[in-house]
Structure 1
C-alpha cells in the first residue's frame, strides 16, 4: 500500500476515535458548564451578549471586535471662500456645489467667485 492510503486510513480511524471521545465527554462537559454558570450566576443571555470576552482574571474583559469610543471633536463653522451671483456661498471644502459647477461649466473661472473682502464680525 502507498503511504498516502495508509495515512488516509489512519486519519479516518483517528476521526472516529475523536468523535467517540467527544460524544462520551459531551454530557460531562455540559454538566460542568451548568455548575459553573450556576456558581457565578451566569445566564445564557450573558453568554450571548459577550460571545468572546478577553481580559485577565478578576478584571472585566472587552468584547472581541469592539472599537474604543471615539472622542467627538467640536465642529466649527468654516468661513465662506466663494460666493455666487445669487448669494450662495461655499467654503471650498467637499464637493463643488451645483451652482458653482454650472458656472464653471459655462466658462467662468472659479477664482472669479472668490470672496476678497474680510468677513464682518
Structure 2
C-alpha cells in the first residue's frame, strides 16, 4: 500500500498532466465556443447580462442558457397568487383551521377526548 508521500507525488504528477491537457485544449475550446456563439447569434453582452444559474445546470458553467431559459420561464404561465383560505373549523378558544393540511393540536386533542370534529364546523 502506498504511503502519504507516494500519494502526494502521484497527485502532483496528475495535476501537472491535467494542466498540460487543459492548455492544449484551450484554443480548440475557445474556437468551439465562438462558433456556437456565431451560430446562435449570442454576443458577449448576452453572456454578461445572463443571470447566474441556480444549480442543476448539468455542469455547464455559471450562466443559464440565456434566451432558451427565458423562453421556458415565460411558457410556464402566470403565477397564482396565494389567497388565504376561509376558516372551516373554530375551537372553543377562538382558534381556527381551514381544514387543509395537518389537523391542529387543539382539534386533535378535542377529538381524542371523544368530541366530534363536525361539532366545530363553522356554519
- Please report the TM-score for the alignment, with normalisation by the length of structure 2: 0.44
- Bigger helix fraction: 2
Mark the structure with the bigger radius of gyration.
1
